Amino acid sequence: MAKTKRTKVTKELLDKEFVEVKEQDRCLATALYETTRSHPFMGAILQCLNIMYTHALPTAGVSFNADAKRWDLFINPKFFCHHLNEAMDKNKKSIGDKARKAILLHELYHITNKHPMRVPFIKLSPNKRRLMNVAADMAINQFIQHLPKGCSQCPPKEALQMGVQCANPNCCGYTIHVEDYYDEDENGKKTPWPEGKTMEHYYDLLLRKIEEGEDGEGECQSCNGTGEASCGSCGGTGKDDQGKPCKDCSGTGGSGKVCPDCKGTGKAKGMMDTLDSHDWDGSGDERDMIEATEDLVKRAMVKQRMSYDDLPGGMKDLLEELKARRAELDYRGEILAAIKKSASGHERKSTWTRKSRRFGTKAPGTKVGDLPKLNFYLDTSGSISIEELNEFLEIVDNFLRAGSRKCRLNLFHTSNYYSEEYKLGMRIDRSMIESGGTCLESSMRDIAKRKADLNVFVTDGCYCDVDITGWLTPGTQFPQCLYIISREGDAEHPLKRFGKTIKIPASTNVKE
């Protein structure tokens, strides 16, 4: 019975959104042609992109195909071929074919601005995630002409921001534009939000706007995001005067009526939805996304018969940023691999204090062996920022989460002035820092004394050599070291002979 019902619903959806194949091909071909005319290289990228019609989403959207390791662009045929015929610009002029081109550019700009590579890896609540999605559209829409601003029947944008729905069933929607947002002081003076900023910048502005309005993360304050008006008897608490479930609303706190403030949308005042779908969470590995984006650009270069020098400035910046991010990921992986190699997992050792499971008291049993010991020595002489030091600890945490290990955190300049057991998630603040020159003799003596399995330095590499003659008994090897050299540091430091050296990439900040 359930299968029959699903089949009926699917058939109704397909009938409702049916568009002739010829019309689908015409609309997409025209949009690609117009894009290639006005934006030749972007048009070439779109021609290399996998574009498909689907009924699985209401408008359009890009996603990363983790299995095929490629970017896919999905378009709803009814929206793209019919609804966009109703699209109007800010002067209420019809812009059907131009709007289709704008939608393709909008989806492509999400990829070239690396939104799907950044948003999934930021830990946010669902409501804050929605704000980030709005900010992503705000960052790119200002560079795209002819995005739809509603249809001829749409109410004013102020009403749309309050959740009022357009009466036109074929309405194409109203896209988010930074020009519609501003700050207002206590005197009523309005200051427009700046243009040309990043997704993260607009997210901070949106978050501040919500906080100043005392609404919860983009939710309507009156209904707490439910879209339903509160019960008149219990005031939305769900309980009566005796603390028992309210009889009028069955303890739900809702009246079953639409919230008058948000018109049932559950959104805070001024917060609009994105035109397209941003289903990016858990879509794939960041390294695979970087490689797929580079491949897309390089295929477009071949198609356009262009060299790197001929690329538009924005594409050169994109490739450089992807290269920098790849270097950061490689450097993190290299650090983890070096630590794992020297401080591997749990080992078991034989002991007569436990009987063997197989042979009883006639053979020794086993127990967990000594755990590898790790010592971290962080240079605080002033040449390395706190951010770099904490970035290293964040990398280490990913390794330590795999199992408990004995770790000790040391801070040094000319002497080892701080030495405490390291706990997962621990970070450095300025109150812990002492500055001065750089000398590793104190730290090297500590290493010779403690004899940890691996000793990791985070330093700039600018210091004198250390003579360890006489510190160890004859035939004893100095404990293994790993040197992480800062971005501006010297990888050719004088203590390279004691272990592996890894240089932090010169630039790991990915800009939009």
Please provide the average confidence, as pLDDT, over all residues in the chain: 82
Examine the pLDDT at 403 and tell me if it is beyond 70: no
Give residue 398's pLDDT: 74
Examine the pLDDT at 207 and tell me if it is beyond 50: yes
Q: Specify the higher pLDDT residue, 398 or 348.
A: 398
| Residue 356 CA: distances (Å) to CA of 11, 346, 353, 369 | 66, 19, 10, 16
Give residue 244's pLDDT: 79
Q: What is the pTM of this model?
A: 0.68
Residue 305 tokens read as 């018969």
Give residue 512's pLDDT: 41
Domain parsing of the chain, residue ranges: 16-227+262-311, 328-503
Which class is 328-503 in CATH?
alpha beta
CA atoms of 216 and 268, how far apart (whole Å): 8
Give residue 255's pLDDT: 67
CA atoms of 218 and 277, how far apart (whole Å): 18
Q: How confident is the model at residue 269 (pLDDT cuts 50, 70, 90)?
A: low
Give residue 50's pLDDT: 94
Ranges 156-160, 218-222, 448-452, 503-507, most confident: 448-452
Q: Specify the higher pLDDT residue, 461 or 150.
A: 461
Sequence-ordered list of residues with C-beta below 8 angstroms from that of 137, at least 6 positions apart, any chain: 106, 175, 176, 274, 275, 276
Give residue 510's pLDDT: 39
Segment among 106-115, 139-148, 321-330, 449-458 with least mean pLDDT = 321-330
Q: How confident is the model at residue 163 (pLDDT cuts 50, 70, 90)?
A: low
Residue-by-residue DSSP string for 353-385:
EEEETTTEEEEEEEEE-PPPEEEEEEE-SSSS-
Q: Specify the higher pLDDT residue, 306 or 3.
A: 306
Give residue 96's pLDDT: 87
Give residue 488's pLDDT: 83
CA atoms of 289 and 111, how far apart (whole Å): 9
What's the average model confidence in pLDDT over 459-468?
A: 91
Task: Of 459, 466, 472, 475, give the one whose Cα is nearest residue 497.
Answer: 466
Give residue 122's pLDDT: 75
What's the average model confidence in pLDDT over 470-476?
A: 83
Give residue 5's pLDDT: 47
Q: Specify the higher pLDDT residue, 374 or 165.
A: 374
Q: How confident is the model at residue 219 (pLDDT cuts 50, 70, 90)?
A: low
Examine the pLDDT at 295 and tell me if it is beyond 90: yes
Q: How confident is the model at residue 215 (pLDDT cuts 50, 70, 90)?
A: very low
Return the sign of the alpha-carbon dihedral for residues 449, 454, 459, 462: positive
What's the average model confidence in pLDDT over 429-456?
A: 89
Using a pLDDT cut of 70, give the percent of the chain over it: 81
Long-range contacts of 419-425 (CB under 8 A, 24+ apart): 419/446, 422/374, 422/376, 424/397, 424/400, 425/397
pLDDT in tens, 2-22: 444 455 657 777 778 888 999
Q: Specify the higher pLDDT residue, 285 or 250.
A: 285
What's the average model confidence in pLDDT over 139-162?
A: 83
Give residue 511's pLDDT: 40
Q: How confident is the model at residue 363 (pLDDT cuts 50, 70, 90)?
A: low
Sequence-ordered list of residues with C-beta below 8 angstroms from that of 54, at least 6 positions apart, any chain: 74, 75, 76
pLDDT in tens, 47-73: 999 999 998 888 999 999 988 999 999
pLDDT in tens, 477-512: 899 899 988 888 888 999 999 988 988 886 544 344
Q: Specify the higher pLDDT residue, 395 or 460.
A: 460
Q: Find out whether 412 and 459 touch, Cβ atoms under 8 Å.
A: no
pLDDT in tens, 327-337: 777 877 877 77
Q: Exposed, middle or buried: residue 423 (CB in 10 Å: 0-12, 13-18, 19+)?
A: exposed
Give residue 373's pLDDT: 83
Q: How confident is the model at residue 183 (pLDDT cuts 50, 70, 90)?
A: confident
CA atoms of 215 and 417, how far apart (whole Å): 47
The phi, psi pair for 333, rounded to 5°, reads -65, -35
Ranges 35-39, 55-59, 321-325, most confident: 35-39
